[in-house]
Amino acid sequence: MVRRTFCQPIRNGLWVLLLLLGQGLAALPLAAAEEKADQRQFADVKTRQRQAVGKVCAAKLEAIQIAFQGEQPPTSTQLKQLVEQLRSLTDSSCSASYEKSQVYNLLGYSYYSLEQYARAIDSYLLMVAEPGVDERQKTATRYTIAQLYFMLENYVGAARQLELWQAEAPVASPDGRALLAQAYYHLKRKGEALKLISAVIAEAETGGKLPKEGWWSLQRVLYYEQQDYRQVVAILKQLVTHYPRTSYWQQLGGLYGQLERRGDQLAVTDLLRLQRQLNSERQWLSLAYLYLGAEVPFRAARVLEQGMESGEVQASAKNLDTLGTAWLQARETRRALPALQRAANLSDSGAIAARLASAYLDADDNGAAVREARNALRKGGLSRPSLTQLTLGAALVNLQCYREAEPVFKEAASDQKTRKTAEQWLRYVSGEGARREKLIESGADLPGCQLG
């Protein structure tokens, strides 16, 4: 989502204090940077002769000015009293158009201070509508009105005032134009928004200035909604360089995934891990699967172990199975067995137990292989039970349990895909079983079935 631009402290209510200097009233100081910027903005503008506030009106406004100039800001009660005083001035002491504009200006500022933003807007609109209003003040106030409209989420009003401000201002500031682009975004005028914010960013870069984070963020959202992911990646690279945030790195990794740039996605995600910024199980698992996809199972297993040790990856049957499988792919069978055993114990399906039985067989732990193969067949849920039967039969053969293996291989032979292998085993166990029985009858000291 686009982050809302909040209204900055409104100073327009203090314009009147500058305009009253001719009447001997003291002015509240404005920031030097603001004064210089304002002077540059209007440097080449021919303005009409400044109007003055009459003595009677000035005297009334001076008393109100004192309230704003105190060391402590006016309280809510005092502000309400000031509002009542100001509302009465336009019908009596301040009846000239220019004087009314200054009263409305202070009235808008007072309502803003009371957080009555709708009334503040109404007062400022009355001010800019006065025929005698100072043109510079009028233009600046339109910007304030737009900000207030933003606070009320009235984007139609905000856009209208910013368009008038842009037409009236000798120099339209990039911040104001970016705010207008944001209003266009909220109004679904996204083509105009993208064109405007892109121009603002391009001008900043051409002038050797760093574009603001919010400008790039808006441009990023607009390109993303157009599904122009390559442009989004380019913007995110700028953001992680100049305004590094974890969320930008995460978004960049996600975009690399959408573009199927798995190597880049892996690099970004692992960087987040090194920065201790992986904060969800999904992110840890994503990194592990990226390593598996890149055929680096050892790193995948270590990532999963680290995630489980930190408590961010649940030691569930599925996750333990993935861990064990990663160790198997890394040819670390001894490290795979404990994870697979825990996974098999937690699972109601026989699938994990079947893989565990095969791992035990590879590790030459035939007794455990027989146990887990039988568990797998008992639990069920196997896509190819005959493969587990072959594992069970092979483990029984290794334990010299030929007669016990024979019916297992007969069952495996009922599957067309394992029939050939099962029949070969059957011939072997039948012949070897008969041979050993004859040797034992002849007095040979041969061990029998070693299945405990």
Confidence tier at 441 by pLDDT (50, 70, 90): low
Let me know if residue 104 belongs to a domain. yes
Let me know if residue 165 belongs to a domain. yes
Closest CA to 18 of 27, 10, 9: 27
Question: What's the confidence (pLDDT) of residue 425?
Answer: 94
CA angle centred on 212, ends 208 and 217, rounded to 5°:
130
**Which of 49-63, 196-210, 280-294, 326-340 is predicted least confidently?**
49-63
Question: What's the confidence (pLDDT) of residue 24?
Answer: 28
> Between 23 and 163, where is the model more confident?
163
Instruction: Enter the tokens of residue 175.
Output: 């911040």
Indicate whether 7 pLDDT > 50. Answer: no
Mean pLDDT over the full length of the chain: 85
Question: What's the confidence (pLDDT) of residue 144?
Answer: 94
> Between 48 and 74, where is the model more confident?
74
Closest CA to 373 of 423, 412, 319: 412
| pTM reported for the whole predicted model | 0.69
Distances, alpha carbon 201 to alpha carbons 121, 187, 210, 225, 272, in Å = 30, 21, 9, 19, 28
Q: Is the Cβ–Cβ distance between 165 and 172 less than 8 Å? A: yes
Let me know if residue 330 belongs to a domain. no
Say how far apart CA 323 and CA 331 lie, in whole Å: 13
Distances, alpha carbon 258 to alpha carbons 1, 244, 266, 340, in Å = 19, 21, 13, 32
What share of the chain in percent tops pLDDT 90?
A: 63
Let me know if residue 92 belongs to a domain. yes
Q: What is the dihedral of CA 245, 246, 249, 255, to 10 degrees?
A: -110
- How many distinct structural domains can be found in the chain? 1
- Count CB atoms within 10 A of the CB of residue 323: 28
> Between 22 and 377, where is the model more confident?
377
Q: Is the Cβ–Cβ distance between 99 and 57 less than 8 Å? A: yes
pLDDT in tens, 215-271: 999 999 999 999 999 999 999 999 999 998 988 998 999 899 989 899 999 999 999
- Report the CATH number at residue 135: 1.25.40
Question: What's the confidence (pLDDT) of residue 424?
Answer: 93
Let me know if residue 23 belongs to a domain. yes
Confidence tier at 35 by pLDDT (50, 70, 90): very low
Average the pLDDT over 343-363 and give the result: 94
Instruction: Enter the tokens of residue 60.
Output: 């009334």
Let me know if residue 374 belongs to a domain. no
Indicate whether 32 pLDDT > 50. Answer: no
Question: What's the confidence (pLDDT) of residue 12?
Answer: 41
Average the pLDDT over 437-452 and give the result: 73
pLDDT in tens, 132-149: 999 999 999 999 999 999
Let me know if residue 264 belongs to a domain. no
> Between 396 and 18, where is the model more confident?
396
Let me know if residue 290 belongs to a domain. no
Domain membership of residue 105 as a residue range: 1-27+52-169
pLDDT in tens, 385-438: 999 999 999 999 999 898 899 999 999 999 999 999 999 999 998 888 778 777
Indicate whether 38 pLDDT > 60. Answer: no
